[in-house]
Amino acid sequence: MPSKLKRVAHRVFDGEIRSHRDLVRHVARLTLLVVVLADLIDVIINLVVDPTILVRSLIQTTFTAAIMSTIFIGAVARANLALYRTNQKLEHLTRTDPQTGLLNRKHFFEVLDDRWSHHASGWLILADIDRFKAINDTYGHPIGDAVIGGVAHMLSECNPHPSVVGRIGGEEFGIYLSHGTLDEAKQRAEAIRLLLATQSFGTPHRAVQARISMGIAPLTPDRTVEDTYALADRALYQAKRNGRDRVEVLEEVGRELGSLRVVRNTV
């Protein structure tokens, strides 16, 4: 019985307010509770003091308690809702890159670490915009920013959940694929590369095209995220060294994992 009462009290008093609907429910529950308690006290007092005014006093108490509690509880609930929304915004800012809206480097690798800690496997693709400095120097930073934003949007659209996309830094992006074979990961990367070649980014008055190089490495339970990143980074460097605008997998990785298939992860 005490545990049941405790659960009821928790629902009444500790329900988190995340929306206007939650706010209305919370205010209604607590207001009803206050009115019932006030009426109960009023009835007891009037039965002892003067039962003849019980009904009139009960009406007045109900009205007063409802109005006062609604005003006070509503103000507290609105403050709690505003605090929740502010915290959500702050959490979003700490997790995402402000320019692109993608996960920032820190949170991207936190997600990968979490997947790896649950023994999940997958494929890490590192993507880097080719000759981005030249784009900035030639066309200016507004065009460069448009290229960054456009590439980020394209990567996000091409890799929906459960894939994870983040901005690693500058013009470098990370993509985590949660399932598939190495060939399928390469096909996904190649499709992104070819799609990018058809896109233009910039302003209505000036637009430029961009190219991208990518390196792929497997994330497996016996290889840490840090080691996986190092492999993908080496593959990306190889793509740059071999002429850019291409997808590369280190030869030793291909020999080791060419037939590996990563099943869909549920974490």
Nearest alpha-carbon partner for 263 in 162, 122, 159: 122
Q: Are 164 and 175 in contact (CB under 8 A)?
A: yes
**Per-residue model confidence (pLDDT) at position 203:** 80
**Per-residue model confidence (pLDDT) at position 206:** 87
Which amino acid type is present at position 204? P
Task: Please state whether the peptide bond connecting residue 162 to the residue before it is cis, i.e. omega within 30 degrees of 0.
Answer: yes
**Per-residue model confidence (pLDDT) at position 5:** 44
Nearest alpha-carbon partner for 67 in 122, 24, 14, 27: 27
**Per-residue model confidence (pLDDT) at position 41:** 93
Helices (H) and strands (E) in the chain, counts: 9, 9
Active site annotation includes 157: no
Which amino acid type is present at position 200? S
**Per-residue model confidence (pLDDT) at position 255:** 61
Q: Are 267 and 114 in contact (CB under 8 A)?
A: yes
**Per-residue model confidence (pLDDT) at position 256:** 61
Q: How does pLDDT run across 68-86, given as a tens digit for each residue?
A: 999 999 999 999 888 888 8
**Per-residue model confidence (pLDDT) at position 233:** 96
Residues with Cβ within 8 Å of 15's Cβ and at least 6 positions away in sequence, in order, are: 22, 25, 26, 29
**Per-residue model confidence (pLDDT) at position 266:** 41
Nearest alpha-carbon partner for 219 in 174, 251, 189: 174
Catalytic one of 16, 157, 171, 190: 171
Q: How does pLDDT run across 171-225, given as a tens digit for each residue?
A: 999 999 998 999 999 999 999 999 999 999 988 888 899 999 999 999 998 889 9
pTM > 0.75? no
DSSP 52: G
| 105-262 CATH | 3.30.70.270
Q: Which tokens belong to 29? A: 């529950």
**Per-residue model confidence (pLDDT) at position 259:** 47
Q: Are 66 and 35 in contact (CB under 8 A)?
A: yes
For tokens 């936190």, name the residue: 110
For residues 33 and 176, give the distance between their C-alpha atoms in angstroms, rounded to a whole number: 50
Q: What is the mean pLDDT of each run of 10 residues along the chain (267 residues)?
A: 51 69 91 92 89 89 92 91 84 87 96 92 96 94 94 96 95 95 94 96 88 95 93 96 95 60 44
Q: Are 125 and 216 in contact (CB under 8 A)?
A: yes
> How is the chain split into domains, by residue range?
2-94, 105-262
